[in-house]
Amino acid sequence: MIAGRVARAGLLLLSMAVCAAATAQAIEVENVDVYRVPGRFGGWPANHGIWSWGDEILVGFGAGYYQDLGTERHNIDHGKPEEHLLARSLNGGRTWKIENPAAQGALIPVGKALHGVTPPGLVEKPWQDCPGDINFKHPDFAMTLRMTDADIGPSRFYYSLDRGHNWQGPYRLALLGHPEIQIAARTDYIVNGPHDCHLFLTAAKADHEEGRVLCARTTDGGKNWKFISWVGPEPKGFSIMPTTVRLGPAELLTALRHHEGDKKWIDLYRSLDDGGSWQPAGIAVPDTGEGNPGSMLRLQDGRLCLTYGYRKKPFGMRAVLSRDGGRTWGSEVVLRNDGGGRDVGYPRSVERPDGRVVTIYYYHDQPKSDRYIAATIWDPRQVTN
């Protein structure tokens, strides 16, 4: 596999999409290749998860094979295998090493993968009921939640206590007392205590179509996951792929990828009772082009940072920041705008100990070119509005 390398660095300008009166600024960014292999398709870090321990960063992604299917589709060969891989950096995202958990008998997709077929000879271990007593507060803890169908599940989870070198699972992900809820899980969780954890999940709507978001919780270390609440009303289109932060002892804020007709945006819901109920909290990003999920962080300086892919010309990666807990947002920060088309984004972001943010996503440079995993390293302290 390929180790990451520094691809390019430069000064990019802030756009003025959110605050019309904002002054454009230049910020310095460093773009790094994480996984870039000729003929391959690297995709969708948002579906897998990201974890960090100081300058050690681990991120999951899918790796299939490139096929030209036109500008309106994911250019992945559905007839060839798709692997679930990990990329690990030990130096804050500057260089990367690719790991294949299937070599350790874990994280192997079951049956048909989301976008390609299962690699030959691989069969996922039987799903089990989790015995509980997971120590979510272990200093080397990581958890990934995965679905087996792109829209409605079923779903399972794995966890690691050694920074993702070895994984326990798969464990069935079902909501206690609610077998009718079909879950299409991606990784979004908040650890509250040694055996206490919130999950934020996409579920099928009443018509079994994609989708709406719910909040679930365990207090027994993952043995039982209890349905807590729906996040917002059932949409006519879909509201999916939450990214959630804790703002206080009982305050949570989540950002959702929303799609209604021709409109695609990222909106917000706030809970003041630890997920028991949710209220609309405005719109963070009014237009993401053809639609893209966000990745939200609470920075060391207290600001919120939301990164996302922009699927409209000029295609690329962007961010917005909030100084007041998500009530208002500054102008868009254009991290890069050199994408070759709509097939970009699905980011996950982490903040390094030095205050810089590492945003990881999938990308391509030309309309007909391989999709690869890239990282942008940037300093939100350069953004003043």
Nearest to 47 by CA among 240, 235, 197: 240
Tell me what pLDDT residue 2 has.
44
What number is the average pLDDT over the span 334-363? 97
Query: 78, 85 in Cβ contact below 8 A?
Result: no
Tell me what pLDDT residue 116 has.
63
More confident residue, 165 or 22: 165
Q: Which helix (H) or strand (E) holds 3?
A: none
Q: Is the per-residue pLDDT at 152 higher than 80?
A: no
The pLDDT tens digits for 181-193 are 999 999 999 999 9
Tell me what pLDDT residue 255 has.
98
Tell me what pLDDT residue 217 has.
98
Q: From CA 380, how far away is CA 27, in angstroms rounded?
A: 9
Q: From CA 147, how far away is CA 152, in angstroms rounded?
A: 8
What number is the average pLDDT over the span 20-45? 81
User: Is the domain 5-11+26-295+319-335+344-382 a CATH 2.60.40.420 member?
Assistant: no
Q: Specify the pTM.
A: 0.91
What number is the average pLDDT over the span 66-72? 84
More confident residue, 124 or 15: 124
More confident residue, 106 or 1: 106
Tell me what pLDDT residue 107 has.
52
48 phi, psi to nearest 5 deg = -110, -45
In the block, residue with structure tokens 């939100």 = 380
What are residue 257's DSSP bridge partners?
240, 266
- Give CA torsion, residues 217, 219, 225, 229, to 10 deg: -30
In the block, residue with structure tokens 């792109």 = 150
What number is the average pLDDT over the span 330-347? 95
pLDDT band at 14 (very low <50, low <70, confident <90, very high): very low
Amino acid (1-letter code) at residue 146: R
pLDDT band at 74 (very low <50, low <70, confident <90, very high): confident
Q: From CA 310, how far away is CA 343, in angstroms rounded?
A: 10
Least confident of 50-59, 207-216, 296-305: 207-216
Tell me what pLDDT residue 15 has.
33
Q: Is the per-residue pLDDT at 333 higher than 70?
A: yes
The pLDDT tens digits for 98-151 are 999 887 655 555 444 566 666 776 777 889 999 999 999 999 999 999 988 655
Tell me what pLDDT residue 72 has.
76
The structural domains of the chain, with segments of one domain joined by +, span: 5-11+26-295+319-335+344-382
Percentage of the chain modeled with pLDDT above 90: 77
